[in-house]
């Protein structure tokens, strides 16, 4: 019972919490309103077209799904790798993972245009399709993470939380690999056809999920006035910087291998050096400069990295860089014209051989942000009614491990 008493609900009796829930509810309703517009009027009110069929909602959805896997890092470090310093934060880690995945899946379902068609996808499976596999991976992750939280909260089942944690760790790696494979298996698109997509998405999940968890942890600490142990913040910041470097490594390998293959060189030039379209600017300024180099500079500068505000800003920049990276991958990859006949120029009244044009509309942004609102709302309500947050900061570690 001592272990159970170390956790508590957040006491939110003032107007601040009510205002937060009200704002998040409005954001969620705005997303539902946008989904209703897209369903009732058709996708012609969006920027999506026959060339770019995945738009801004998919950028938000994929980011939330990928971050959901990485948000479970802290819980995995506790149960799988035996880092006891993270045990008080494992519940919040698993809860955040569930909330992120719910937000991402909500955006995907509502962007179908006909959400009721999801019943068909859930009852008739084409097991040759990676999309069919992901239905099992996503729903299975929610169930496993939910059981994981339950076992950690229930005194009788706490001994079983470790094996469930092992299962959740293996499942989330498979889930993220499956999400990356959606793009890696699309051989018709020169921007996607690469086996490195799966491990790159795993690295992205570690970086994005850790950044989102760090933002959540610092926010909860500020709201509850419960300080987070400096050792925890130091280790999370160090891990976050390592994950960002890992993402950069896979990005470099992805483009280098594409340059080596003659059929992929045009897409590298298009995404990295084409000044006539926004993707090169987004890549170098949004993903590399603001989303990677600047956060690393903040986290690696001793005087700056000690500040919680600086860590919060660095994590926010990594989230921004992640959204930009997915925008370049998803939308930039579709905008590049399909190579129907290698070695020949193709033109037709159906825009074959032309760069696809896309500009996100208000409805698309509202739907994507609505998914973020749902995620934050789930976390805000859960920490209010469930003993998720530790009463005291974790004790300083006694080991000398890097993590």
Give the model confidence (pLDDT) of 72-120 as tens digits: 988 888 888 878 788 888 889 999 999 999 999 999 888 876 667 777 7
Task: Please state the rounded mean pLDDT for residues 223-243.
Answer: 85
Render pLDDT for 116-174 as a digit per residue (tens, 0 to 9). Answer: 777 776 777 777 777 777 788 888 999 999 998 888 888 888 788 888 889 989 999 99
- In sequence order, what E strands does 73-167 have? none
The confidence score (pLDDT) of residue 386 equals 84
The confidence score (pLDDT) of residue 4 equals 43
Q: What is the CATH number of domain 4-390?
A: 1.20.1630.10
Question: How distant, in Å, are the alpha carbons of 66, 108, 202, 377, 395 from that of 115?
Answer: 22, 9, 28, 22, 47
What are φ and ψ of residue 346, in 5° steps? -120, 135
Does residue 213 have a pLDDT over 90? yes
The confidence score (pLDDT) of residue 51 equals 83
Share in percent of the chain as helix, strand, coil (round to 5): 75, 0, 25
Tokens at residue 37, please? Answer: 């517009």
Q: How far apart are CA 277 and CA 340, in angstroms?
A: 22
Q: Answer whether 205's CB lies under 8 Å from 69's CB.
A: yes
**Structural element, H or E, at residue 7:** strand 7-8
First-residue to last-residue Cα distance in the chain: 28
User: Which residue do the tokens 């910041």 mark?
Assistant: 237
3-state secondary structure of 205: helix
Does residue 396 have a pLDDT over 60? no
Residues whose CB falls within 8 Å of the CB of residue 281, separated by 6 or more in sequence, listed in order: 275
Q: Given pLDDT bands bounded at 50, 70 and 90, which one contains residue 349?
A: low
Task: Please state the rounded mean pLDDT for residues 376-393.
Answer: 83
Task: Please state the rounded mean pLDDT for residues 232-254.
Answer: 92
Q: Nearest-CA neighbor of 395 among 235, 231, 233, 158?
A: 231
- For the chain, give the percent of residues with pLDDT over 90: 37
Render pLDDT for 360-380 as a digit per residue (tens, 0 to 9). Answer: 899 999 999 999 999 999 999
pTM: 0.90
């Amino acid at each position: 019972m001592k272990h159970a008493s170390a956790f508590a609900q957040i006491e939110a009796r003032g107007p601040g919490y009510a205002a937060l829930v009200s704002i998040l509810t409005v954001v969620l309703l705005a997303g539902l309103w946008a989904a209703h517009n897209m369903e009732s009027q058709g996708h012609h009110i969006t920027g999506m077209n026959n060339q770019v069929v995945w738009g801004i909602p998919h950028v938000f959805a994929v980011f939330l799904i990928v971050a959901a896997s990485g948000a479970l890092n802290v819980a995995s470090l506790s149960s799988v790798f035996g880092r006891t310093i993270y045990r008080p934060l494992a519940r919040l880690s698993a809860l955040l993972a569930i909330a992120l995945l719910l937000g991402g899946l909500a955006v995907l379902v509502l962007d179908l245009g006909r959400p009721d068609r999801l019943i068909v996808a859930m009852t008739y499976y084409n097991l040759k399709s990676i999309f069919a596999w992901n239905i099992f991976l996503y729903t299975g992750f929610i169930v496993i993470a939910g059981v994981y939280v339950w076992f950690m909260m229930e005194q009788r089942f706490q001994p079983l939380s470790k094996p469930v944690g092992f299962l959740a760790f293996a499942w989330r790696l498979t889930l993220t690999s499956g999400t990356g494979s959606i793009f890696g298996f699309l051989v018709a698109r020169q921007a996607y056809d690469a086996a490195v997509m799966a491990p790159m998405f795993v690295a992205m999940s570690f970086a994005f999920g850790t950044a989102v968890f760090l933002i959540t942890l610092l926010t909860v600490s500020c709201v509850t006035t419960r300080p987070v142990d400096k050792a925890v913040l130091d280790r999370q910041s160090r891990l976050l910087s390592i994950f960002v470097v890992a993402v950069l490594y896979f990005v470099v390998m992805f483009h280098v291998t594409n340059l080596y293959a003659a059929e992929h060189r045009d897409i590298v030039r298009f995404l990295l050096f084409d000044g006539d379209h926004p993707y090169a600017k987004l890549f170098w300024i949004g993903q590399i400069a603001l989303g990677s180099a600047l956060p690393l500079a903040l986290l690696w500068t001793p005087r700056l990295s000690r500040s919680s505000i600086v860590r919060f800003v660095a994590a926010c920049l990594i989230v921004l860089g992640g959204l930009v990276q997915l925008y370049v991958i998803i939308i930039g990859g579709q905008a590049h014209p399909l190579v129907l006949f290698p070695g020949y120029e193709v033109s037709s009244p159906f825009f074959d051989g032309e760069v696809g044009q896309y500009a996100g509309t208000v409805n698309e942004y509202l739907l994507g942000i609505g998914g973020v609102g749902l995620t934050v709302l789930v976390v805000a309500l859960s920490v209010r009614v469930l003993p998720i947050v530790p009463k005291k900061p974790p004790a300083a570690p006694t080991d000398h491990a890097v993590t």
